[in-house]
Amino acid sequence: MAKDTKERILKAALEKFSEHGYAGTNIRELTQSLGLVKSAVYRHFESKEEIWNALLDEMVAYYAARFGSTENLPPVPDSLDDFLEMTGRLAELTVRDEKIVMTRKLLTIEQFRDGRARDLATKHFLTGLTEMFTYIFAGMMDKGLLRKDDPAMLAFGYTAPISALVHLCDREPDKTEEALAQAKAFTRHFIAAYGMTDDGKR
Helices (H), 35-113: 38-42, 48-66, 80-96, 98-110
Return the CATH number at 2: 1.10.10.60
Report the distance separating Cα 93 and Cα 33, nearest Å: 27
Report the distance separating Cα 202 and Cα 189, nearest Å: 13
Residues 78 and 25 in one domain: no
Instruction: Please tell me the predicted confidence (pLDDT) of residue 188.
Output: 97
**How confident is the prediction along the chain (202 residues), in pLDDT tens digits per residue?**
556 888 989 999 999 999 999 999 888 888 888 888 888 888 889 899 999 999 999 999 999 888 888 788 899 999 999 999 999 999 999 999 999 999 999 999 999 999 999 999 999 899 999 999 999 999 999 999 999 999 999 999 999 999 999 999 999 999 999 999 999 999 999 999 999 975 555 5
Residue 127 domain-assigned? yes
Please report the beta strands in the chain, taking only residues with DSSP state E, as ranges in sequence order: none
Residues 40 and 76 in one domain: no
Burial status of residue 33 (CB atoms within 10 A of its CB: 0-12, 13-18, 19 or more): middle
**What is the pTM assigned to this prediction?**
0.87
Residues 7 and 73 in one domain: no
Residues 80 and 37 in one domain: no
* Residue 87 structural domain: 67-194
Q: Buried b / exposed e across 122-158, counting CB within 10 Å, b at 16+?
A: ebbbeebbbbbbbbbbbbbbeeebbeeeebeebbbeb
Residues 77 and 38 in one domain: no
> Is residue 149 left, alpha or beta, with left meaning phi > 0 and alpha meaning psi from -120 to 50?
beta
Q: Is 128 helix (H, G, I), strand (E, B) or coil?
A: helix
DSSP 125: I
User: Would you tell me the crossing angle of helices 176-194 and 80-96 to the nearest 10 degrees?
Assistant: 160
The answer to whether the beta carbons of residues 52 and 117 sit under 8 Å apart is no
Residues 6 and 80 in one domain: no
Instruction: Please tell me the predicted confidence (pLDDT) of residue 201.
Output: 54
- Indicate the number of domains in the chain: 2
Q: Supply angle C-alpha 185, 157, 173, rounded to 5.
A: 50
